[in-house]
Amino acid sequence: MAQIGSTPCPVESYDDTRLMLHIPDGVDGGVDGATLELQVFAPGKIAKLSVSCNAPVMPHEEGWAVLTSVEPNRLGVEGGRIVVQGARLDWVTTISVGDIACTLDSTSANTLYATVPSLEGHRGETLTVTVTDPSWASPAGSVAITVE
């Protein structure tokens, strides 16, 4: 859990270099150059930080991730590596092809790379690629892979 001032802000995701918080409406600090007083709580620890905003806080809205293409769009049943193009993909934390969870190898604003495991049992099917960011599971756009 984290808080800005006295307002609780649930942690949506984190890694070694980035912490994403859900900032409720009405929390001041979305102005470029503003300083936020941030406290992060972990079992037995409290970190207090002053964080300067380099850009306005952007709302994290439904359809945040946009999918435009996937290469290759045909895979054998053995699976393989795919490249998904789109927009606002930097918050994506999971990817699946149909109901098969894939390994998210890397992601940036417009491109993500993933490894698709075996698609045994799906030969001849066309499976939708689905990405999930911490707030929404329904990206805008749709891309699919045909299993050969």
Position 57 in a domain: no
Position 58 in a domain: no
The boundaries of the domain holding residue 129 are 66-147
Same domain, 85 and 40: no
pLDDT confidence band for 145 (50 / 70 / 90) = very high
pLDDT tens digits for range 86-141 = 887 887 888 999 999 999 999 888 899 999 999 999 999 999 998 887 655 555 56
Number of continuous H segments (helices) and E segments (strands) in the chain: 0, 15
pLDDT tens digits for range 33-59 = 455 566 666 677 766 666 555 444 444
Quick one: which of 59, 61, 52, 47 has its CA closest to 3? Answer: 47
Give the CATH number for residue 108: 2.60.40.10
